[in-house]
Amino acid sequence: MEQIVLNLIMNSGDARSYAMEAIQAAKDGDFNNAEDLMKKCNEQLDHAHAAQTNLIHSEASGNKTEFSLLLVHAQDHLMTTITLKDLALEIIDIHKKIDAN
């Protein structure tokens, strides 16, 4: 269980880093790099989401998940990273529009 939770944290953290790097790339006008970084962000979020889905399926199958602060922390990382990803896409789009003018 701890390994799954730590993978969730690690993949969410990596995705967050890629999203922040993509915003910076867009600020610098490097939109191709921003797009590549967002693809990496999505890949890491896919891994994190798979870990979360495994936990949910396990519990739905009757294997009760023990509540832990680490699990709450992992969920927090995932949810804030998903929000950041959505905001990063919007910020990149704004920078593209500004750059086009």
pLDDT profile of the chain (101 residues), mean per 10: 89 97 98 98 96 87 85 94 98 96 84
Model pLDDT, residue 66: 79
Q: Which tokens in the block code for residue 81?
A: 């990273």
Q: Which tokens in the block code for residue 100?
A: 């086009």
Rounded to whole angstroms, how far apart are CA atoms 92 and 26?
A: 6
What are the catalytic residues?
Answer: 73
Model pLDDT, residue 40: 98
Model pLDDT, residue 4: 86
Model pLDDT, residue 57: 87
Rounded to whole angstroms, how far apart are CA atoms 45 and 67?
A: 23
Task: Identify the helix (H) or strand (E) that includes residue 64.
Answer: none
Model pLDDT, residue 75: 93
Alpha helix ranges (H) inside the chain? 2-27, 31-60, 69-100
Q: What is the CA radius of gyration of the chain?
A: 16
Alpha helix ranges (H) inside 29-68? 31-60
Model pLDDT, residue 1: 79
